[in-house]
């Protein structure tokens, strides 16, 4: 799990650079800032999360819920098992077709 996932697991809203798959991971659980944003923009993102208690609590709950639903070790392990089964099934199907066609 990434540091973002760890923060979200503890209900901490995240402010992160908008790079890679970070936006998909956050999904309304924090703020994205352009990678080369000036410090004032980062400060504004933190302020937007912490200025209002209701906003902070909403984002905190959203982080926790998102992490519990999609970003946990159990979900990671299940994804690995699913991929392994898919690879095995694809290989079996390919080998079966090869055996039938020969």
pTM, rounded to two decimals? 0.65
Q: Contacts for 73-76 with beta carbons within 8 Å, 24 or more apart?
A: 73/1, 76/1
Percent of the chain's residues with pLDDT above 90: 42
Total count of residues recorded for the chain: 102
| Average of per-residue pLDDT across 76-89 | 88
For residue 87, give the 3-state DSSP assignment. Answer: helix
Could you report the per-residue pLDDT of 16-53, keeping only the tens digit for each?
A: 999 988 888 787 788 999 999 999 999 999 999 999 99
Model confidence at 102, in pLDDT bands (50, 70, 90)? low
- Residue-averaged pLDDT of the chain: 87
């Amino acid at each position: 799990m990434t540091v973002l996932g760890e923060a979200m697991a503890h209900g901490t809203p995240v402010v992160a650079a908008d790079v890679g798959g970070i936006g998909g991971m956050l999904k309304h659980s924090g703020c994205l800032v352009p990678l080369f944003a000036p410090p004032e923009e980062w400060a504004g993102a933190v302020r937007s999360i912490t200025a209002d208690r209701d906003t902070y609590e909403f984002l905190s709950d959203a982080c926790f819920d998102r992490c519990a639903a999609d970003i946990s070790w159990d979900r990671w392990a299940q994804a690995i098992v699913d991929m392994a089964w898919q690879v095995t099934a694809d290989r079996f199907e390919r080998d079966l077709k090869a055996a039938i066609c020969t």
